[in-house]
């Protein structure tokens, strides 16, 4: 419940599943004020081959910063390659500020690559998550790219070792 005049953020997750090409979804938001419901339109271009996007290619296209051992993985680098013929400026549109910091290059020259860094904040170090961040280019289309972030935690103390009995005797 929100007080009058208060605000909050609402996270809407759109899973691409097996979709390809241009997709539009319209989730409905219901409130007890005003019209019975409001629709939010999400339109995206789902690419079959993330290594062939234009005007930039992001590698890896999905940032999997999972941790399966005791060594803490708290950051991951990624590369943005400008495959167009014009220099491009990048600006952040959205990232989960409570869980990560994302350092984007300010610009990427035509035909060149630049490096970005995803850093996990303290709350994200001990949790599994599936989030994303979105940045925008200054090209004629105002292209936006959403990069998935995945983190799976497997506590090494919970991983069964061969020949070692657990408390349950298994």
Q: Structural domain boundaries of the chain?
A: 12-46, 53-156
| Strand spans (E) along the chain | 21-25, 28-30, 37-39, 42-46, 56-59, 63-64, 75-82, 88-94, 100-103, 107-108, 113-120, 129-137, 144-151
SS3 state at 1? coil
pLDDT at res. 157: 54
Whole-structure pTM value: 0.72
Sign of CA dihedral 23, 79, 136, 93: positive
- Is it the case that residue 170 has pLDDT exceeding 50? no
What pLDDT was estimated at residue 159?
38
What's the CA gap between 97 and 115, in Å, rounded? 20
For the domain 53-156, what is the CATH code? Answer: 2.60.40.10
The pLDDT of residue 169 is above 50: no
pLDDT exceeds 70 at position 167: no
């Amino acid at each position: 419940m929100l007080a009058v005049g208060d605000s909050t953020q609402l996270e809407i997750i759109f899973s691409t599943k097996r979709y390809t090409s241009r997709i539009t979804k319209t989730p409905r938001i219901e409130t007890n004020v005003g019209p019975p419901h409001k629709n939010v339109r999400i339109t995206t271009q789902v690419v079959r081959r993330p290594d062939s996007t234009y005007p930039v290619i992001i590698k890896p296209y999905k940032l999997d910063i999972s941790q399966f051992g005791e060594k803490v993985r708290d950051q991951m680098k990624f590369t943005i390659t400008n495959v167009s013929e014009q220099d491009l400026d990048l600006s952040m549109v959205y990232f989960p500020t409570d869980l990560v910091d994302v350092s984007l290059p300010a610009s990427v020259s035509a035909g060149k690559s630049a490096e970005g860094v995803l850093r996990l904040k303290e709350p994200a170090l001990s949790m599994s998550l599936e989030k994303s961040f979105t940045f925008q280019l200054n090209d004629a289309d105002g292209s936006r790219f959403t990069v998935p972030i995945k983190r799976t935690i497997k506590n090494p103390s919970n991983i069964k070792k061969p020949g070692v009995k657990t408390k349950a005797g298994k």
